[in-house]
Structure 1
Amino acid sequence: MTPDSTRPPRAPRAATAGGPGLFVTFEGGDGAGKTTQAALLEEWLRESGREVVRTREPGGTEVGVLVRDIVLHHRGHIAPRAEALLYAADRAHHVETVVRPAIARGEVVIQDRYLDSSVAYQGAGRVLDSDDIRELSLWATGGLLPDLTVLLDLDPAAARTRLDADAKPFDRLEAEKEEFHARVRAGFLTLAAAEPERFLVLDARQPVPLLAARVREAAATLIG
């Protein structure tokens, strides 16, 4: 791993989402439980009377579905910089057409992966410059950052055990070697250390209900 892939990113150029809505993202390695926790938060918010938009990257729009198929299921080699640009292009379209409009309507956006995944996977994992990857996504999204980012931290070996139990074919990133996923995990933790006011870091080995309660507590604080 190069020093560029692990150093803390520069300070963000823009504030978090703000406005009448709320932007919550879930991050972490594959198998950490992001989808489960996102679904539980959505259920709790809807029961509380909030309007919720549940989405993901890539794949949250029709364009995103096409990008997702390329970056996760293309069988040939994709150059790391090209991969990063594809994710950024999807993110630009997704934020413009889905995320910002929902926030403006006062809704809560719950999203599986955002720019921190690019910094961790394409920056640390692919050993590109993490600052460059972050700046690319900030430019693509007009500087939009989440109000809350939940990082579900899990050792890559434990994550692989969970993925094996699912008995589903691995996508391109899931199929990478353990060294890749170790760099990704380190990248996420570096990001969280640089922005503790935005990140909620949770040990993904904890019981699902306990994790859900911690997420609800953090979201409730923001909602007020």
Structure 2
Amino acid sequence: MRYVKWGFWLMLATLVFGFLHYTLPQTDIVRIVGTENRRVDIGDNSIFWSRAEVGMANSTSRDVFFINAVYPNGRTMEYRNEDTGWGWPPYFKINSFGLQTQAKEAVSTDAAPVWVALRHYGWRNQFFTIFPNAVSIKRVAGPDVTLIPWLNIVILTFLAFVLFMIRRVWLQFRERTIDPALEDVAETWDAVDARADAARDRAKGVFGSLWAWLASWRSKPRK
């Protein structure tokens, strides 16, 4: 039973970590090498794309902006550029056209690189055709710039505070309501056991007396 309990909490922690890792903003220092507008057929992985009503298309096939970039170590990355509207995640992004223009202006070559801090959310997975969604682009001094994720720190701190308060409320509720109820149940069972033991002792006394009476009759000599 202990392994089942730890397995449950491990699975729950994995789901929460995956949800936060996908949803919270991340910032990459990259060099943009190109932009494009591609026709995309949204299939079984539609959960990783924006809703159709956010964009201009109402079908599962629509035009999507893409931004192609390169990390300082030469590794490539591709981002989609879609509006999120009022849906989830709550980035309220409605400036995909303006962001695409910014990306085009920041296109550079290896000989004359222009480094940008590209904020996004989501994952890149080639097997499932998943792209992170670009949220903002900001030019930086170079590839070694250090950025502190203040927004993530605030959000995680707030979530930790909420979990702490929920735990305190639960502990107080258990101390004031559940534990006394369990103690009452335990005392009730103890009283039932005590009465059962007393009844068993009385029954033993009655049967013992009856058995002794019968034994006394068997031991009397016949006339």
> What interval of TM-score do these two structures reach, taking the shorter chain for normalisation?
under 0.3
Which structure has more strand as a fraction of its residues? 2
Which structure has more helix as a fraction of its residues? 1
Looking at CA atoms only, which structure, 1 or 2, has the larger radius of gyration?
2
TM-score by length of 2: 0.22
TM-score by length of 1: 0.22
